[in-house]
Structure 1
Amino acid sequence: MHAPNIEPDLVLEHGSESDLDVLAQEKSVHHPVPTVGPQERNPDDEPTVHLLGLDALLPTFCPVEILKENGINDAVVSERVSKAAELGSPFLWSTFKKVTVLCGAFMASCLAAYAAGAYALAAVPVRELWRISDVQFNAGITTFVMGFGIAPMILAPVSEAHGRYWVFVGSGVTFLIGTIGCAVTNHYAGMLVCRFIVGCGASVYATLTGGVVSDLYHKEDRNTPMALYSLSIMAGTGLGPLVSGAVVDHLGWRWVFYIQACAVGLTTLIIFVFFQETRSNVVLRKKCRAINKAIAENTSATWLQFQSEMEERKFNISIVWRSFAFPLQLLATESIVFWFSAWASFAWAILYMQFSSIGIVFRDVYGFNSTQVGAVYVAVVVGSTIACLLAIFQEPITHKFWPSRMTSPEGRLLPPGILSALLPIGLFWFGWTATPSVHWISPTLAIGSCTIGIFSIYLAGFNYLADSYHLYASSALAAQSMCRNLLAGIFPLFTMFMLKGLRYWGAGSLLGGIGLFLTAIPWLLAFYGQRIRARSPFAGALVGDV
């Protein structure tokens, strides 16, 4: 007897990966297993395979009953099998166990964002050492983002089919190797290559950690852990320049990467020791192997085997192709995916643009050194923390005052629709106050305003696409991720030209105007999103459920 072939949509980015489990439960077909005692069997008979679904991870699952149905009544065997069957659903883990797993993952996601921003503060000494231009230096940000965008397309399907654990550990090793390479390289080309390697390793933590949250928490319980995950990303982008500014001035630019390497190595060790497998389909296969081993070691009834209903998919190039093709199809045909991707991509591009623009503006206007420029990024950390607290506390408040409205995906757009306006406000504010006649605290506060807006957009994008597309959410989020990484890699390359050509007030006004236009997206979807989803072949099926 063989398990039915289940091929759900590939999971590419954080947030909807546990939907694979939902789809598997919906598509699985339970076949009755004939009761065949050992005395009735011939040696040449095929093994009796008992298929287990995800409900076998629940506490109600009792393998001893199945043993009795097949004529195995030995008490010792029953005890050993029961012990082997203790592996349970990650959803049912204790809070302490979930927090232990997430602490390492959140540390890693924070370091991934840290690595993106820390590089920027090495600009002055590296440009002087290798006699390269600002654009050439910023190409290191672009190659980092290239690795950030490419690696998850391959590793997300691998982690989905074969588990998170070794993908996370292997990515940590890659992250560490790339960071050490950045520290010791003596050539500009070597720096670009190592930055790409760093991006590949760091990308897993920045993208798949959200999937770990989805593995551990049901949708209604994810708001707080997802807000904390987003905080680890956003705060990391501020901590990188904050720490590295002082390091460059007092220890030299290579220590920017040596310190990162120490932190990455420690975090990888923590993940190796404390991280546990969270993919339910992988845990189920592990449980089946444990039960089969217990039966084989304690009885001659090896003809009875337990097997997961979800076949282990073999990794091949077609999986990678689907990882690219279907998200592009959604991007081209689904207006919700397109406009949400445009909104989130612009916000992410501004975040990466800040790695260059803050240093340029504060050195030029206020004469700041690297340590002082790094200190400006405190605004990013504080803004991220405020945004996280707002995200955590706004959920119960909005449910209290608009309970019926909050049951729909559109209801969750109201708070971020308000907070996202802080992005264009901050851009106008920064551009028009970055002058010698205005105290430096004013553009610094503007950066905090932008950060709150970016945080709300990032979190809203995950929540709305995951709620709206359900089984296709992974591909919708992947489309958004591709757009985000593309713009984030391009914007730093022309930051200098824009700021010098349009002046600071002109650049702030242009970007603020674009941001203001895009801020209309959540409000349009809040009022018309359900009608738009009703016309979608991918999201329309869910309209009646919300």
Structure 2
Amino acid sequence: MTAQVGRALSYVTFKPDIGTGKHEAPYLNEEGYVDFSPDDLENPRNWSLKRRWAITCIAVVLAMNGNFASSIFSGSIDSVMEEFGVSEVAASLTTTMFLLGFCAGPFVFAPLSEFYGRRWIFYITFLAYMAFSFLCAFPTNFGRFLAGVFISAPLSTTPGVLVDLWDPIERGNATGIFSLASWVGPSLGPVVSGFVQLKKNWRWGMYSVLWLGALTVLLMFLIPETHAPTILAKKAERARKSGIAGYEKAIMEGEEDKPSLAHVYKLALTRPWILMFDLISLLCSIYTCIVFTLQFMLFSIYPIVFRDMRGWNAGVSQLPLLGQVVGAVLGAIVIFVDSERRRSKDAAGKTLLPEDRLLMAMFGGVAFPITMFWLAWSANYNAVPWIVPTLAGTFLSAALMLVYVAIINYLTDTYAQYAASVIAANTVARSAGSAAAPLFTTQMFTSLGVGGGGSLIGGVATLLALIPFVFFWYGARIRRKSKYALVEPDQMEKMDEEADPTDYGVQAEETQHAGDMDEPAQSKRSEDV
């Protein structure tokens, strides 16, 4: 009866039924440490395909809550201004404060996830995010900031969950879906809030965030622990308490010399800033900062074009943002095609260098200024049909996504063992740019006009488009001069195999946020017991 109950609960919680294991000697590796056996059902990568996909989808939905909430006020700024009698800049702080929370959160929670596992970080931070989101239905920027801090934990922990569940070959589809959801979420926020503002007010946008969060909470508690070191630590503890002769001092590898939490935080708070100013990291951070700044600028540009200039209402004027969603899907298709190209190249025994990741950035980098000029000057004249700037925005979204995904992958391959730290630095740069965007976009486009403002961005994008080309041709030479970048292909392959998603406590927030996009090979795994 007990076994049947355990089996039933395993399906409800997406955690395989492994029994008590009290009297079974744990598997030891060649060094004598507690480890996963080849077919160990406690190893998340040995769970059934449907179980891993279920957990992946729930984790992605958790992260998408933060992406959706980040832009929810963008469609209801007028309602905030009217109710509180404040300027547009002051009202835009609701978005800015939330995004600034993204800068702080990963540094706080990533080290904790290394010590206490993923599951409890999800539970505590998402519930705290819900509590502070409730406060955001009232006039409090401080609550909005803290909501951003706490939701950044699921955003940064979800890529780690994907690393836990999927090996590098299989991870492509999962990380592709995560990247797509991360791009789509912010585009949907203004559409929802724009329409609810017509019938209600800005608070109903926050209510939609709470409703989405409430539904997600029910799913969140189904996520089991996936962090391998945490699972192995508990497994070693069970072995020590089991009374089995010879296992009284059983430990997992690294447990005896595990650094203190204070030491982890010291590295987490200092290393990213050192790596940010390494040449490759610096230029890539500038590029992704501009990409994400523009993404959030579009939430102010579209209302100018379709509401102020064409006279559409607050809801309908946000609908062209759905073109951004379509563009993200197109970008994802290109990413998967490129992943298949890389997989075939790897299967043929050819060397894959970090610079091979930049082909998408080169393509997207050229398309970025072209589509930006297209959007700017087609939107500048009301005589041009609305579909023309909407299509421009669609292809612009695809270009931005390609640039972002390629650069994150390039940084991951280039810095390998320091990938989490360099991605954390990149996260700060792009989150800061996103946070600043709502504060100046309207004034900029009012002064310069849609054509002029868009041309300024297009000009900057033209200059930045040189970056992936420079790294593609001279990246190997630049890496040799770096103190932190890896140089030899076999060195990079070894680091990829040994890498832990929490690099000294700084989660690779998006080390896999667009992650290793290699197309997953079909593999057969036994169904969970």
CA separation in 1, counterparts of 2:350 and 2:440? 42
CA contact (8 A) 1:419 1:456 kept: yes
CA contact (8 A) 1:327 1:478 kept: yes
* Paired position in structure 2 for 1:431: 376
Q: Letter of the 2:81 partner, please give it.
A: R
Q: Letter of the 2:199 partner, please give it.
A: H
* Paired position in structure 1 for 2:474: 528
CA contact (8 A) 2:106 2:424 kept: no
* Paired position in structure 1 for 2:225: 277
1:112 and 2:66 aligned: yes
Deviation track 1:12-59 (CA, whole Å, cap 9, x = no partner) reads xxxxxxxxxxxxxxxxxx997xxxxxxxxxxxxxxxxx643xxx1132
* Paired position in structure 1 for 2:236: 288
1:237 and 2:186 aligned: yes
Identical pairs, percent: 29
CA separation in 2, counterparts of 1:257 and 1:540? 45
Change (3 A) 1:529 1:221: farther
SS at match of 2:251: strand
Superposition pairs for residues 15-54 of structure 1, below 5 Å?
51-52=33-34
Of the structure 1 ranges 448-457 and 505-514, higher mean CA displacement relative to structure 2 is found in 448-457
* Paired position in structure 2 for 1:121: 75
Deviation track 1:321-350 (CA, whole Å, cap 9, x = no partner) reads 422311111112x21111111111110111
* Paired position in structure 2 for 1:170: 124
Q: Letter of the 1:396 partner, please give it.
A: E
Of the structure 1 ranges 124-133 and 410-419, higher mean CA displacement relative to structure 2 is found in 410-419
Deviation track 1:486-505 (CA, whole Å, cap 9, x = no partner) reads 11112221112211121111
Bigger Cα Rg: 1
Deviation track 1:109-134 (CA, whole Å, cap 9, x = no partner) reads 21211101111111111110001111
CA separation in 2, counterparts of 1:90 and 1:454? 33
CA separation in 1, counterparts of 2:471 and 2:168? 21
CA separation in 1, counterparts of 2:312 and 2:170? 44
1:409 and 2:354 aligned: yes
Change (3 A) 1:91 1:508: same
CA separation in 1, counterparts of 2:279 and 2:65? 34
Q: Letter of the 2:188 partner, please give it.
A: L
Which of the numbers 431, 437, 444 marks the counterpart of 1:498?
A: 444
CA contact (8 A) 1:244 1:374 kept: no
Deviation track 1:187-226 (CA, whole Å, cap 9, x = no partner) reads 3xx1x11211221122122222122212222333322221
Change (3 A) 1:534 1:487: same
* Paired position in structure 1 for 2:53: 99
Give 1:401 shift. Answer: 6.8
Change (3 A) 1:285 1:401: closer
CA contact (8 A) 1:111 1:264 kept: yes
1:148 and 2:102 aligned: yes
Q: Letter of the 2:167 partner, please give it.
A: H
Unaligned 5+ segments in structure 2 are 1-28, 493-529
Q: Letter of the 1:326 partner, please give it.
A: R
TM-score by length of 1: 0.80
CA separation in 2, counterparts of 1:384 and 1:259? 23
Give 1:404 shift. Answer: 6.3
CA contact (8 A) 1:143 1:195 kept: yes
Q: Letter of the 1:180 partner, please give it.
A: F
Deviation track 1:244-286 (CA, whole Å, cap 9, x = no partner) reads 22222133321111121011122122111x2122211111101
Instruction: Supply the RMSD in Å over aligned alpha carbons.
Output: 2.3
Which of the numbers 315, 326, 333 marks the counterpart of 1:371?
A: 315
SS at match of 2:484: coil
* Paired position in structure 2 for 1:449: 395
Q: Letter of the 1:413 partner, please give it.
A: L
SS at match of 1:370: coil
* Paired position in structure 1 for 2:306: 362
Give 1:399 shift. Answer: 4.5
* Paired position in structure 2 for 1:72: none
Q: Number of matched residues?
A: 461
Give 1:164 shift. Answer: 0.6
Of the structure 1 ranges 401-410 and 160-169, higher mean CA displacement relative to structure 2 is found in 401-410
CA contact (8 A) 2:361 2:404 kept: no
* Paired position in structure 1 for 2:416: 470
* Paired position in structure 2 for 1:322: 267
CA separation in 2, counterparts of 1:319 and 1:305? 25
Deviation track 1:342-393 (CA, whole Å, cap 9, x = no partner) reads 1111101111112222222321111121111221211111111111122112
Q: Between Structure 1 and Structure 2, which shows a larger proportion of helix residues? A: 1
Change (3 A) 1:211 1:431: same
Deviation track 1:42-82 (CA, whole Å, cap 9, x = no partner) reads xxxxxxxx643xxx11327xxxxxxxxxxxxxxxxxxxxxx
TM-score by length of 2: 0.82
Which of the numbers 364, 367, 379 marks the counterpart of 1:419?
A: 364
* Paired position in structure 2 for 1:458: 404
CA separation in 2, counterparts of 1:458 and 1:212? 21
Unaligned 5+ segments in structure 1 are 1-29, 33-49, 61-85
CA contact (8 A) 2:365 2:464 kept: no
Change (3 A) 1:405 1:59: closer
* Paired position in structure 2 for 1:336: 280
CA separation in 1, counterparts of 2:313 and 2:248? 71
Give 1:176 shift. Answer: 0.8
